[in-house]
Amino acid sequence: MKKFISNTLAMAGLIIITSVLVAAITAPILSPYDPNFIDIESILMAPSYSHIMGTDGLGRDVFSRMLYGAQISLLVGFVAVGISTGIGILLGSIAGFYRGWIDSLIMRIVDLMLSIPSFFLILAVIAFLTPSIWNIMIVIGLTSWMGITRLVRAEFLSLRNREFVLASETMGSSDAKIILLHLLPNSMTPIIVSSVLGIASAVLVESGLSFLGLGVQAPTASWGNILTDGKEYIQFAWWLSLFPGLAILLTVLGYNLLGEGLRDILDPKNKQ
């Protein structure tokens, strides 16, 4: 905890992420308006006391939509990374523990997946599905597990012949017990760091899909589709592009800073 508090990167990232999480959780309380309420008398109002982030082309309050959009973006990030991390841990554990032809087969699948640009793969899959928040989370999770798989496999290979693993095998422990009680706990550092960084990537992907109209659909608020609305009025309604853009920038920056800070703190080579 002392090392975490003294790490500037980790603390800066934690402050940013905590602020976004608090805003998302308390959106029903902090939001001054219904995010989907259309007010034709308040169309494209500049930021003011009554609308601190202005209004959009339908008179909806941008601040309220930003708060509810934070819920969508963070939900996608957490669920998608949860799916990809689960798949990555499962396949990486099998490949690193059993090695041989199983390892070769899994790694060739990983190489095949990595040879396809992930964003275009997601676009191709989404094109055949009905755009929805759940489809987006599942698709992002199912197309971003390769990095975790390689990390877990590498950790397992480095630990596979260590004394405590060999001793557990000699005592007759099952493969599942060795993996769950000995190998996996000692491989958590890169998994945690990669998962934190993966949330930032998932938020970016969701925002990009929503911006292209293939993600979260109107009237549900998302930072990406708020940006989409803003591009039509960018010459005179700058607030529609500025605020969601800053939200995406700060959120992704926060997770990246936290991930880099955790990497410095948890790396055994940096222990003094």
At 266 the pLDDT is 76
The alpha carbons of the chain give a radius of gyration, in whole angstroms, of: 22
Q: Which domains does the chain have, with CATH numbers?
A: 2-270 (1.10.3720.10)
Q: Which of the four pLDDT bands, split at 50, 70 and 90, describes residue 153?
A: very high
Q: Which of 236, 217, 233 is nearest to 225 (CA)?
A: 217
Higher pLDDT among residues 209 and 19, named by residue: 19
| Phi, psi (degrees; rounded to nearest 5) at 61 | -70, 120
What are 156-200's pLDDT values in tens digits? Answer: 988 888 888 888 888 888 888 888 888 888 888 889 888 988 998
| Tokens, residue 205 | 């992907």
Cβ neighbours, 10 Å, residue 2: 7
Q: Per-residue pLDDT for 250 more than 90?
A: yes
Which residues lie closer than 8 Å to 209 by C-beta, 6 or more apart? 122, 123, 126, 131, 136, 215, 224
Beta bridge partners of 55: 61
Q: Which of the four pLDDT bands, split at 50, 70 and 90, describes residue 17?
A: very high
Cβ neighbours, 10 Å, residue 262: 22
At 63 the pLDDT is 92
At 114 the pLDDT is 86
Specify the range with the lowest mean pLDDT, choosing from 29-43, 54-68, 122-136. Answer: 122-136
Higher pLDDT among residues 84 and 271, named by residue: 84
Q: Per-residue pLDDT for 9 more than 70?
A: yes
CB 34, CB 221: distance < 8 Å: no
What is the Cα 78 distance to its own chain's centre? 6
- Determine the Cα–Cα distance for residues 209 and 206; give it in Å rounded to an integer: 5
CB 60, CB 36: distance < 8 Å: yes
Amino acid identity of residue 156, one-letter, is: F
Mean pLDDT for 199-220 is 84
Q: Per-residue pLDDT for 267 more than 80?
A: no
Q: Which of the four pLDDT bands, split at 50, 70 and 90, describes residue 148?
A: very high
Whole-model pTM: value is: 0.85
What are 41-71's pLDDT values in tens digits? Answer: 888 888 888 889 988 888 899 999 999 999 8
At 166 the pLDDT is 85
Q: Per-residue pLDDT for 268 more than 60?
A: no
